Amino acid sequence: MSLMGFLDRIADVSAFDKAIEPARRAVQGLPSAVKDVLHGTWLGHPLHPVLVQVPVGSWVSAGLLDAVPRLRPAATVLIGTGVAASVPAALSGAADWSEQGSGVRRLGALHAVLNTAALGLYAGSLVARGQGRGTLGRVLAYSGLGLAGGSAAIGGHMSYAQSSGASHAATAVRALSTDWIDLGPLDDLPEGRPAMRTGKGSSMAVPLAVVRRGARVDVFVAACSHLSGPLDEGTVENVRGSDCLVCPWHGSAFALDNGEPRRGPAANPQEKLEVRMEAGRVKARVPSRHR
């Protein structure tokens, strides 16, 4: 069995759920404004992969510097930097983790345990170095690097194989034909709430969420960028000063004007199509970046 197949086996173990659930509820209980900061909703990009660069980069660099005796004081500074930076990185990861599906949460729990163990080893390394026990400090640091590397591989599997943090809307929009899609007469669309229309794809039909406000029409891929929730079954609400399309699954809100997230857990924008009117009919097309 491949390593990735082994991780998929772990993601299937439902026995972990009972132990995981209290932590998940605790994170979900944070104020939504705090969670949105941690998700990266304000950035329009998941924050966790941005923040993890600091501890990972610091610790890898410290590992290299520790190999050169005269550079070891600099390694100690980098280890301390990584320890401090791991706290916001962990908090943003926990916020994302709490809103994922069960398989991602199980692997995410293992990722967190390994990261916590690595953090403990690095903290121990700092203490040992402070006491003048340099050899022990380096052993602890290299052990921490090994654990953090293994944990990073799990995080990569969560992102690339389980699509956590990826935009599910971007996947859906690529299935659409690049031609203009006829969505029917403007007058058939309800006012101020999403309606479902279907876009022609190269191999399958792609659901679209269409919102009419007077003569204006906004068209989005219906699969929510967070976890593919059906935005055509959502609502239109004013969220933080913007008229938004709100997902019925976890409440992410996307500005009707440009698809940017106004409320999480989504951090990626929602894919919005170009729109034009032709003889009273609505036509939409995927944006040029996907053509």
Nearest of 222, 283, 276, 215 to residue 254 by alpha carbon: 222
Residue 255 is a binding residue for ligand FES (CB under 6 A): no
Tokens (6 digits) for 217: 């029409």
- Least CB distance to ligand FES at residue 284 (A): 21
Q: In the set 100, 167, 252, 270, which binds ligand FES (CB under 6 A)? A: 252
When the beta carbons of 199 and 264 are compared against ligand FES, the nearer one is: 264
Q: How far apart are CA 157 and CA 161, in angstroms?
A: 5
- Asked if 166 interacts with ligand FES (CB under 6 A), we say no
Q: Does 48 bind ligand FES (CB under 6 A)?
A: no
- Containing 253, the helix (H) or strand (E) segment is strand 253-255
CB of 224 to ligand FES, least distance (A): 3
Q: Is 266 in the site for ligand FES (CB under 6 A)?
A: yes
Selected binder of ligand FES within 10, 249, 281, 290 (CB under 6 A): 249
> b/e for 225-238, b at 16 or more Cβ within 10 A?
bbbbbbbbebebee
Q: How far is the CB of 259 from ligand FES (least distance, A)?
A: 13
The secondary structure of the chain in percent helix, strand, coil, rounded to multiples of 5, reads 50, 20, 30
- Residue 250 is a binding residue for ligand FES (CB under 6 A): yes
What is the token pair recorded at 143?
């052990």
Q: Specify the 3-state DSSP secondary structure of 246.
A: strand
Planar angle of CA 264, 269, 271, nearest 5 degrees: 135
Q: Which is nearer to ligand FES, 141 or 206 (CB)?
A: 206
Q: Residues of 55-85 as b/e, b for ≥16 C-beta within 10 angstroms?
A: bbebbebbbebbeeeeebeebbebbbbbbeb
Residues in contact with ligand FES, shown as a per-residue x/- string from 191 to 230 under the rule CB under 6 A: ---------------------------------x-xx-x-
Q: How far is the CB of 246 from ligand FES (least distance, A)?
A: 9
Binding site for ligand FES (CB under 6 A): 224, 226-227, 229, 247, 249-252, 265-266
